[in-house]
Amino acid sequence: MAGDGASYNASDITVLEGLEPVRMRPGMYIGSTGPTGLHHLIWEVVDNAVDEAMAGYCTRIDVTLLADGGCRVSDDGRGFPVDHHPQYPGKSAAEVVMTTLHAGGKFGGAGYKVSGGLHGVGVSVVNALSTRLVLEVDREGQHHVIEFVNGGEPKGGLEVVGPAPRDRTGSTVTFWPDPAIFEEVEFRAQTVTERLQVMAFLNRALEIRFADQRPGNEKRETFRYNGGIVDYVKHLNASKESLFRKVGAYQQTEDRQEVEVALQWNTGFHESIFSFANGISTTEGGMHEEGFKKALTNVVNRYAKSRNLVKEKEDNLDGKDIREGLTAIVSVRLTDPQFEGQTKAKLGNVPMRSLVERATNEKLAEWLEENPTEANQVVKKALLAQRARVAAQQARDLTRRKSGLDGAGLPGKLIDCSSRDRRECEIFIVEGNSAGSSAKDARDPRTQAILPIRGKILNVERARIDKMLKNAEIQALIAAVGAGLGEDFDVGKIRYHKVIILADADVDGSHIRTLLLTFFFRQMKPLVEGGFVYVAQPPLYSTLVGKEKVYLKDDLAKDAFLREHPDHKHDFQRLKGLGEMDFHELKETTIDPVKRSLLQISVEQAALADDVCSVLMGDDVELRRHFIQTNAKDVRFLDI
């Protein structure tokens, strides 16, 4: 959706408020000062470039992690406006954008008809949280430069330093995050490339190039998808077994609103619908997703009854049955997106629901008529899902009566805590009886509960819910958490605000962690989304310094220790089993809230988490081996 014209000047920049609060309360603007907030700086700058692409003016974006720790984002769009701003005599619009919060072409100006940048707070926040930022603008044949230091102070005005190379237009922002603000300032290449790939999928034919120039991490990748979200669906289903090869796709534009949908079913049991508004991931759904689901149910039922695959007197197929095994992308663009929900991840524009519904009712119905073989497979799979759902409900009812799924009865092996304030309570899910015994002695009985589980739980990626509910370990997990399962899961009823997976630091431990994380992601997703799931990180090594035992979390910690103690003479002991530790060691390294190290699990990018679950827990051994080999050096635990 291109803008109405190419006008993008100082008069298109609207100013809302000053910049001062950002350094005082960075968390309010970027969410946190941890890794998530650090990477948010890149997203803010890249979003500006993507907005230029959505407006029809940018075809390529380059993102480079520099050897000195900085980041450079360059695009071939129109370039920041360089003329003087009407509200700020003597200041260029580029300087105003960089030094004033909420100044930009998206607030009432005519610079953009559609933009994703509204969900952020502007590139000025990146400037405020950087020790140094350099803006270069190629526009009207000239190369302009302005530099900022100490969190956004301009070293001077915008200057023309020469001609633009080869009549180039565009903007380049280079910034260095402030270590006084952030807990760490080292960017993670994988986090960046994952996000860039999604942006390339959502913007058909936009080329995004990534380069990592840091010593030892040198890497280059290019993302460009001429098929757009059709390629995205193929990518997500590559780790699954597709029900058929074709990908359904349709789009519709009206009243400066646009919807684009791509969908394909696989033989699995989970629905994977990912929605976006102006390139922003709407993880909580919203009007566009509602319209799609409602129309999908209507269209498939109409088709099934018209072909007598479902008899006229029989009940309609339920939406959940139709969506079993569905992978779909719903991407909309609109001029004034209204975001709702605590995390601003839900689209609230009511007219968008109507547009998506109309488009799906019309275009998807046409696709089913034109592809009868695939349409029949969809209906047959939904009928199987319907039967399984009825069986699952019966199994669930039986389980409820036997073990009190609703929280009335707790598993016998649960060693519960005495506090009834769920906000301070935590449960350790511990594999193995010996580790369970040590954990029991190491815990604080007032706030820490222990649930020992035996062996590896059922792989829920390959099992329907009726089979799952017959598994003793899963029954114990459901009862202990106390909030139900799947569609019935109520996060308000959870009995603990920290659910901590505690498993050995070896291959078997990694497998158990992955099985448990897959279970939580598939069947208790709000638990993960709410940030209640953690992985304990027992140390990999111990060594003696004098008579004192020192524990080291991983190889990086060991290397850092050796740099600090080059003359250290002891062979390091590798700690493999939790059962090898006595309760004093377990408490000191892993259970004591003051000394332990926990990894919080999030589903910030649900599509990625879905894909990882499918790769690690699916049937494709080669794909799994490739994933592990690719990621082994980058993560401590081979799970999510």
Catalytic residues: 431, 504, 506, 508
For residue 315, the 8-state DSSP code is P
Closest CA to 382 of 328, 318, 329: 318
Closest CA to 134 of 118, 152, 160, 113: 152
Give residues with Cβ within 8 angstroms of 523, minimum separation 6: 460, 465, 468, 485, 486, 489
Query: How far, in whole angstroms, is CA 471 from its chain's centroid?
Result: 30
Q: Residue 602 carries which side chain, given as an amino acid letter?
A: S
Measured on CA atoms in the order 615, 293, 226, 6, is the torsion positive or negative?
negative
Which of helix, strand or coil describes residue 483? coil
Pairing state between β 448-453 and 426-431: parallel
Neighbouring-strand partners of residue 162: 143
Q: Residue 496 carries which side chain, given as an amino acid letter?
A: Y
Query: Would you put residue 118 in left (φ > 0), alpha (ψ -120 to 50) or beta?
Result: alpha
39, 90 contact by CB (below 8 A): no
Query: E strands along 140-183, which residues?
Result: 142-149, 153-154, 159-163, 170-177
Measured CA to CA in angstroms, residue 541 lies from 12, 420, 568, 598, 626 at distances of: 58, 36, 14, 17, 28
Structure tokens given for 457: 């739980």
Structure tokens given for 493: 């009823």
CA atoms of 454 and 431, how far apart (whole Å)? 6
Q: What is the CA radius of gyration of the chain?
A: 27
Measured CA to CA in angstroms, residue 419 lies from 448, 543, 583, 595 at distances of: 9, 36, 22, 22
Pairing state between β 130-139 and 219-223: unpaired
* End-to-end Cα separation, the chain, in angstroms: 35
Neighbouring-strand partners of residue 212: 65, 219
347, 337 contact by CB (below 8 A): yes
